[in-house]
C-alpha cells in the first residue's frame, strides 16, 4: 500500500536494525485519514469472505480494525491484555510474549463476543515474530470460530513470524512488508499476500 509506505518513509523512525517507531501515526498518535485508507484496503481484500467479526489486540490494532469494521458493517472485538473487574470468568485466553516489551501477557476475549459460527478477520498493527497473531488464532480456535485471514499493517519481513504463519497455511495480508531496517534505512519487500 503506497500511502502507508510513503508515511513510513516520511514519519517513521528507525531506532535499530529491528525496531521501527511509528508512534506519530499508528501507535500513539493516530492519522485518521491513513487509518480510513487502511480500513478500506482490508475491507476490499476481505469483502467476499463472509466475515462476521474482526478480532484484534489492544491497543494499536484497534484503530485500523475499527475502520475496517465500519466499512464492512461488522463488530470489532479486541483482546484485552489486562484483566478488569468487568472482564472475569467466561473468557477465551492465550499467552502472548512481546519481544519489543520483553513481557508475556495473557490476552482475553469474552465468550459473549466470539461464537462458533463467527467468521473472523484478525487485524494487528505489526507482525514480527508472530506471537500476537498466534495468540489471537488460538482464541478464535478455542471459540470454534473460523479465521478467514490475518490483516497486518506493517510486517517485519526480516523476522520469522510471517513465514511461519504462511507455512502453516494462514492467509496473511500485509499492507507494508519491511525487508530491512539496516543503517537506519527502511527497505520494503514486494507485498506477499495469501498463503
Binding site as annotated, residues: 20, 27, 128-132, 156
Virtual torsion, Cα 51, 28, 81, 127, nearest 10 deg: 60
Non-local (6+) Cβ contacts of 168 within 8 A are: none
Non-local (6+) Cβ contacts of 100 within 8 A are: 19, 128
Strand, helix or coil for residue 81: coil
Binding residues for xanthine: 20, 27, 156
How many helices (H) and strands (E) in the chain? Answer: 5, 11
CA-CA distance, 71 to 39, in Å (whole number)? 7
Binding residues for 5-phospho-alpha-D-ribose 1-diphosphate: 128-132
CA-CA distance, 86 to 147, in Å (whole number)? 26
Task: Give the closest residue to 138 by CA, choosing from 151, 154, 122, 127.
Answer: 122
Amino acid at each position: 500500500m503506497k500511502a502507508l509506505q510513503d508515511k513510513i518513509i516520511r514519519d517513521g523512525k528507525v531506532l535499530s536494525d529491528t525496531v521501527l517507531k511509528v508512534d506519530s501515526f499508528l501507535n500513539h498518535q493516530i492519522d485518521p485519514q491513513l487509518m480510513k485508507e487502511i480500513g478500506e484496503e482490508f475491507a476490499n481484500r476481505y469483502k467476499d469472505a463472509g466475515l462476521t467479526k474482526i478480532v484484534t489486540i489492544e491497543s494499536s490494532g484497534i484503530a485500523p480494525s475499527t475502520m475496517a469494521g465500519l466499512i464492512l458493517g461488522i463488530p470489532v472485538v479486541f483482546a484485552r491484555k489486562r484483566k478488569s473487574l468487568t472482564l472475569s470468568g467466561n473468557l477465551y485466553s492465550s499467552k502472548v510474549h512481546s519481544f519489543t516489551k520483553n513481557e508475556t501477557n495473557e490476552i482475553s476475549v469474552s465468550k459473549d463476543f466470539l461464537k462458533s459460527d463467527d467468521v473472523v478477520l484478525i487485524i494487528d498493527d505489526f507482525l514480527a515474530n508472530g506471537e500476537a497473531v498466534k495468540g489471537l488464532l488460538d482464541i478464535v480456535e478455542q471459540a470454534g470460530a473460523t479465521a478467514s485471514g490475518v490483516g497486518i499493517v506493517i510486517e517485519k519481513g526480516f523476522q520469522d513470524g510471517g513465514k511461519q504463519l504462511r507455512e502453516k497455511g494462514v492467509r496473511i495480508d500485509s499492507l507494508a512488508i519491511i525487508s530491512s531496517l539496516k543503517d537506519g534505512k527502511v527497505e520494503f519487500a514486494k507485498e506477499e499476500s495469501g498463503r
